[in-house]
Amino acid sequence: MSEKVSIKEIAAKANVSIATVSYVLNGTRNVRPKTKERVLRVIEELNYQPNDIAKSLKSKKTNTIGVIAEDVTVFNVPEIIDGINDYADGHDLHIVLTNLRLHKRVGHNYADVEAYRKYAANAVSDLMAKQVEGIIYVGIHPRDVTGLIDTRGKPIVYTYCYTQNDLSIQYNDEQAAYDSVCYLHDKGHRRIAVITGLMDSIPSRLRFNGYYKAIMEHELPFEPQLIKVGDWGTESGLRATKELLELEEPPTAVLVMNDVMAAGTLRAAWEKGFRVPEDLSIVGFDNREFSDYLQPRLTTLDLPLHEMGYSSMKSLMRLVNGEPAEPVPMPLCVLLERESVASPNGAETS
Amino acid sequence: MSEKVSIKEIAAKANVSIATVSYVLNGTRNVRPKTKERVLRVIEELNYQPNDIAKSLKSKKTNTIGVIAEDVTVFNVPEIIDGINDYADGHDLHIVLTNLRLHKRVGHNYADVEAYRKYAANAVSDLMAKQVEGIIYVGIHPRDVTGLIDTRGKPIVYTYCYTQNDLSIQYNDEQAAYDSVCYLHDKGHRRIAVITGLMDSIPSRLRFNGYYKAIMEHELPFEPQLIKVGDWGTESGLRATKELLELEEPPTAVLVMNDVMAAGTLRAAWEKGFRVPEDLSIVGFDNREFSDYLQPRLTTLDLPLHEMGYSSMKSLMRLVNGEPAEPVPMPLCVLLERESVASPNGAETS
DNA sequence: CGCATAAATCTAATCGTTTATATTCCTGGG
DNA sequence: CCCAGGAATATAAACGATTAGATTTATGCG
């Protein structure tokens, strides 16, 4: 009912032209105070609500950006979206969210890019039709998605995944692994093992680089038997840890490349009769919520997800506004010290 | 560059009127095959992309609904959004997501409704301006939000929270608690304790109703010392459980009203030397992801979050289409049997 | 008081579609 | 071969705003 009030009705009732109404609405031009007040009153009376659709049509600006998430239910995505929203809120921007629902549609077979290229393509053309100003693509697992998406020249920024030709925001995996090995070294550890994720994944390799670099720099033993390859699952963490603890000379600390596997590590230690952190120190990765409920509470690396989202939006808006892309420093992980790390056998902190 | 092709350019190049182009695009009227083909070819050549903004302006339909989430980073929200998206995908609908970011803005003080009424109001008027067809409001904690939002007559459906005047989709808390007590009874348990959340929360009360009802129906002991009030936090679960286990006659099973507290229960049992499930059976609530990493893996109630989202959208679209609201059966939780429940002391399953 | 000039307001075109209505083009039967 | 009548297509008016440019109104100064 009150749906139908447009500036035309306002204009009629206030005895001015629609242009004048527009001027008072936007302050685009001077309007005599008397007139302005009159118009404002009518706007109030008629409970006028602006219509952004019409505005967008004329102005060719929608102040809307499209977010394509491969799967919003994956643990890191909501926090990234939160960061995107944070920026959007502060800049009068709106988000059209497209959820590809990859897990539900193609299971865990991310390698089969063709299978969901069409989902992405559909999402993109829908968003284009909606005249979004740009697109943010949120991958669920870090990997190279070059060529997955054609935006026909509209700005796009990727996050949590890699791409060759476009801007992509990803946290510094290598640095994080490096930092945590240094941290363990500082605590006095010398035999530091690592349990990786699947080695065909980019972050596994980057994190391993960080581990390797730190080991070399501190001239610590780099022994193949201290390197275990997991598959990101909790069972693999359990198995790998058991192998480590059965070594003649077991490590005193282990860097585990995600918290899920670290949960398995904890269990293995318990089963083998190793106390954590007294006999074995553990650093996890991801700061999953449950890592704080584990026993002991897990020391782990917090991912800068909010910052990634925020930063993606910021970069995207530069592109949207035609400014040149500027290099974005990689967001850093931060080590959360909780209870799963101690100095080994009464060794003193160096 | 190729941005600017509209049906006008198509019309010109194909030597037809814009109306004809529109007809072939929408199949609204018959078009001679020859003409149709010609138009289609030009569309292809010029790489025409439709403009939904213009379409919406004329047709007064945006096929867009607004989702207001109090906080997308809260564990249950993404799954609800996923359900919303699932419905949207199948019905050519789009989602404008507004994230109120309540945790970040007002901390955990949800009681201070006034503090975020303005956020909600802003979100609503933005969405109205964008001409969404309806709104879904996703609360973060189940509570009554009546009067929080004025949509000026546009359809709105609430989920995960309660409201007096509008439609609200919430799962069946009472039934879930009832079912799990019956399940424990079936397993042979007779002394069944409960650890509630804060008792000023609606789900705590509903779940307690379910517990009470089942206890009464099976004529089980209803003793005050078997009822512990927690605060949803893991520490409170730990404390409450210790008290239970220190009882002269401790319970053989306990229903814990969320998995976070249940993690504390597990820890308490371990500290007190009770084996789970041999000496103490535990049923949690929420099916948080980590409940599967606990030791033993936690038997818990899975929340029908996806269904709630899907169902909210379905109900909303009925309203949008002017159909009468129809009663929606409350989505049900489902008990996931894992490892934290067994029959007590060799008692046999009844 | 009259007029130049500045300030306020209005007119009308436009954005990219849809869709009544008008017009033109075919088709086939007499 | 003509014409009625239906099929195909074109014209033009919306939808609700913005914004040049035209027009009107107010202001100040000689």
> Which nucleotide's C1' is closest to A51 (Cα)?
D16
Name B162's bridge partners. Answer: B144
Q: Peptide bond before B142: cis, by omega within 30 degrees of 0?
A: no
Cβ atoms within 10 Å of A221's Cβ, excluding its own = 11
A73 vs B78: CB contact, 8 Å cut-off? yes
Structure tokens at A95: 């988000």
CA of B5, C1' of D15: distance in angstroms: 20
Which chain A residues have a beta carbon less than 8 Å from that of B53? 53, 56-57, 62, 130-131
The angle subtended at Cα B211 by Cα B207 and Cα B216, nearest 5°, is 145
Q: How far apart are CA B135 and CA B313, in angstroms?
A: 9
Q: How far apart are CA B231 and CA B197, in angstroms?
A: 5
Which chain A residues have a beta carbon less than 8 Å from that of B270? 295
Which chain A residues have a beta carbon less than 8 Å from that of B71? 82
- SS3 (DSSP) at B280: coil
Please report which residue ranges of chain B form alpha helices under DSSP H.
Answer: 7-14, 18-26, 33-46, 52-59, 77-90, 102-106, 113-129, 173-186, 202-217, 234-245, 259-272, 305-320
Contact call for residues B330 and B170 (beta carbons, < 8 A): yes
Q: How confident is the model at residue B126 (pLDDT cuts 50, 70, 90)?
A: very high
A82 vs B73: CB contact, 8 Å cut-off? yes
Q: Please give residues of chain B from 9 to 38 whose alpha-adjacent beta carbon (CB) lies under 7 Å from any atom of strand D.
A: 15-20, 23, 29-32, 34-36
Q: How many CA atoms lie less than 13 Å away from B253 in the CB half-sphere?
A: 29
Dihedral angle sign, alpha carbons of residues B199, B203, B207, B210: positive
Q: Do domains B2-50 and B173-303+335-346 have the same CATH topology?
A: no
CA of B17, C1' of D11: distance in angstroms: 9
Structural domain boundaries of chain B?
2-50, 63-170, 173-303+335-346
Q: How confident is the model at residue A108 (pLDDT cuts 50, 70, 90)?
A: low
Looking at residue B164, the DSSP 8-state letter turns out to be S
Q: What is the mean pLDDT of chain A?
A: 93
For B266: left if phi > 0, alpha if psi spans -120 to 50, otherwise beta; the answer is: alpha
The pLDDT of residue B111? 63
The pLDDT of residue A349? 46
First to last CA, chain B: 75
Strand D bases, protein C-beta under 7 A: 7-12, 14-21
Q: How far apart are CA B311 and CA B316, in angstroms?
A: 8
Nearest residue: Cα versus C1' of D20 = A19
- Average pLDDT for B302-329: 95
Q: How confident is the model at residue B350 (pLDDT cuts 50, 70, 90)?
A: very low
Q: Mind listing the pLDDT tens digit for each residue in A231-264?
A: 999 999 999 999 999 999 999 999 999 999 999 9
Q: Mind listing the pLDDT tens digit for each residue in B60-77?
A: 999 999 999 999 999 999
What does residue A153 show for φ and ψ, rounded to 5 degrees?
90, -10
B50 vs A129: CB contact, 8 Å cut-off? yes
Which chain B residues have a beta carbon less than 8 Å from that of A56? 53
Q: How far apart are CA A297 and CA A342, in angstroms?
A: 12
Q: How far apart are CA B9 and CA B7, in angstroms?
A: 5
A115-124, B31-40, B190-199, B295-304: which range is least confident on average?
Answer: A115-124
Q: B63-170, superfamily in CATH? A: Response regulator (3.40.50.2300)
| Domain A61-170 of CATH type 3.40.50.12280 | no
The angle subtended at Cα B230 by Cα B226 and Cα B232, nearest 5°, is 135
**Residue for token digits 């210790």?**
B242
User: Longest Cα pair distance anywhere in chain A, in angstroms?
Assistant: 93
Q: How far apart are CA B14 and CA B38, in angstroms?
A: 6
* Exposed / middle / buried, residue A44 (Cβ in 10 Å: 0-12, 13-18, 19+): exposed
pLDDT surpasses 80 at A109: no
What does residue B55 show for φ and ψ, rounded to 5 degrees?
-60, -45
The pLDDT of residue A3? 59
Q: Peptide bond before B203: cis, by omega within 30 degrees of 0?
A: no
B47 vs A152: CB contact, 8 Å cut-off? yes
The angle subtended at Cα B138 by Cα B336 and Cα A317, nearest 5°, is 115
Dihedral angle sign, alpha carbons of residues B238, B240, B243, B249: negative
Q: A173-303+335-346, superfamily in CATH? A: Response regulator (3.40.50.2300)
CA of B20, C1' of C23: distance in angstroms: 14
Compare CB distances from B49 to A54, A73, A128 and report the shortest one's residue: A128
- Percentage of chain A surpassing pLDDT 70? 96
Q: Mind listing the pLDDT tens digit for each residue in A315-332?
A: 999 999 999 988 899 999
Q: Mind listing the pLDDT tens digit for each residue in A201-213?
A: 899 999 999 999 9
- Average pLDDT for B248-272: 96
How close B16 comes to chain A (CA, Å)?
23
The pLDDT of residue A234? 92
Structure tokens at B64: 């867009």
Q: How confident is the model at residue A1 (pLDDT cuts 50, 70, 90)?
A: very low
Q: How confident is the model at residue A104 (pLDDT cuts 50, 70, 90)?
A: confident
- Percentage of chain B surpassing pLDDT 70? 96
Q: How far apart are CA A73 and CA B83, in angstroms?
A: 10
Q: Mind listing the pLDDT tens digit for each residue in B141-181?
A: 888 888 889 998 899 999 999 999 899 999 999 999 999 99
Q: How is domain A2-50 classified at the architecture level of CATH?
A: Orthogonal Bundle (1.10)
CA dihedral B81, B84, B85, B90 (to 10 degrees): 170
B52 vs A130: CB contact, 8 Å cut-off? yes
Nearest residue: Cα versus C1' of D13 = B58
- SS3 (DSSP) at A350: coil
CA dihedral B223, B229, B234, B236 (to 10 degrees): -90
User: Which residues, in sequence order, are CB contacts of B334 under 8 Å at separation 6+?
Assistant: B301, B302, B304
Q: How far apart are CA A200 and CA B286, in angstroms?
A: 34
* Exposed / middle / buried, residue B36 (Cβ in 10 Å: 0-12, 13-18, 19+): middle
Rg over alpha carbons for chain B, rounded to the nearest Å, is: 27
CA of A40, C1' of D25: distance in angstroms: 21
How close A37 comes to chain B (CA, Å)?
22
The pLDDT of residue B346? 56
Q: How far apart are CA B41 and CA A150, in angstroms?
A: 21
Q: Mind listing the pLDDT tens digit for each residue in A171-205?
A: 999 999 999 999 999 999 999 999 999 998 899 99
Cα A138 to Cα A114, A145, A169, B126: the distances in Å are 18, 11, 10, 25
B82 vs A73: CB contact, 8 Å cut-off? yes
Name A169's bridge partners. Answer: A159
Compare CB distances from B130 to A52, A85, A270 and report the shortest one's residue: A52
Contact call for residues A88 and A313 (beta carbons, < 8 A): yes
B129 vs A50: CB contact, 8 Å cut-off? yes
Structure tokens at A266: 């904890």
